[in-house]
Homo-oligomer: A and B are copies of this chain.
Amino acid sequence: MPTKTHSPAPSDKALVPFVSVDHMMQLIHMHGVADMLRGLARYIEEDFRRWEKFDKTPRIASHSPGGVIELMPTSDGEAYGFKYVNGHPKNTAEGLQTVTAFGLLADVATGYPVLLTEMTLLTALRTAATSALVARTLAPKGATTMAMIGNGAQSEFQSLAMQALCGITHVRLYDTDAAATAKCAGNLAGSGLHVTACATPEEALEGAQIITTCTADKRRATILTGNMVGSGVHINAIGGDCPGKTEIAPDVLNRADIFVEFPEQTRIEGDIQQLDPDHPVTEIWQVLTGAAQGRHSDAQITLFDGVGFAIEDFSALRFIRDRIVGTHCFEPLDMLADPDDPRDLFGMLMRAQPD
């Protein structure tokens, strides 16, 4: 650390709590993954139930040949949040992450930031919490088994969220890469879940009431086709999440009742990009408020075409803001200039001159 200058310590409001990656991991371990997932789902449900209060600005994307950088802002009129997130598929070749993310929450009344946080881990948690919140609402009662197709970075979080929120006891794993399945199974050892590594997607689907697809192929893939999917299941389709990237065959989509976060976004990014732009879908927030019907029969196939929406990040930011209170899982950042007299910014600078 450099020598402090003579400037007086900044006031409390000028210090922005910052949650680093290390802090986030400490916070998760302090509470346990299951508790964090349940807490997040509570905040997300709360925000989904007051969906109409939110300013739903489309994300602002800056595209380049190598990828995209996006800002995802939203506000409920009291708090304002945004997430910075990039997507650069070629990064892994250079030992970098494809996606990195951080987020900020601010107070609408003053414009002052109140939280800056890593959001790579937090996004993984909120994505899983959203899936499980939706599955708790739509999956057949008494579901015990989930098929997990695609055993990448999101697979453990999905499995643990379905355990924590929906009471799933068995997970059946499948990935085209057996090493990914082994990694996921290893990470879930000790979770209390019965984990079965499967050699084919068909095997993974045996006896599953919930089917989660989360594969990484950036193309029109068909992970689930018609003859694989029986009646009565809930499909949690979260890997089809950008234009040109889908997982579910149209005949499965056509047999299912489809639930989405925000139709305007999902029709561009989700699996339903394969369907007509006026294909009927139900907004999940309306199911949560009771304004729309969820599952209405045992034979029905429900499908959540999840793409991730800014309001979920907002809920996650609110959750972390509240959860770090009284912990050491943050550090105050001296990010906002705070002269005693706002007209005397220069005087503040002069008084900070070293001897």
Contacts and interface: CB of A to CB of B under 8 A. Distances in A.
Nearest to A343: B152
Given A21-B10, A352-B22, A110 B124 contact: no
A222 interface: no
A120 B26 contact: no
A84 B103 CA distance: 12
Interface residues of A, number: 90
Interface string A1-38: 11011010011011000101111011011000100000
A337 B13 contact: no
A156 B339 CA distance: 15
A91 to B, nearest CB: 6
Given A20-B333, A73-B62, A77-B64, A153 B345 contact: yes
Interface string A325-354: 000110101111111011111111110111
Number of copies: 2
A76 to B, nearest CB: 11
A86 interface: yes
A100 B337 contact: yes
Contact of A62 (B4, B80, B97): B80
A336 to B, nearest CB: 4
A66 to B, nearest CB: 5
Interface in A182-241: 183, 187
Contacts of A22: 4-5, 7, 334, 352
Interface string A57-101: 100101010111101010101001010101110011011111010
Nearest to A96: B110
A157 interface: yes
A49 B80 CA distance: 36
A55 to B, nearest CB: 6
B88 A110 contact: yes
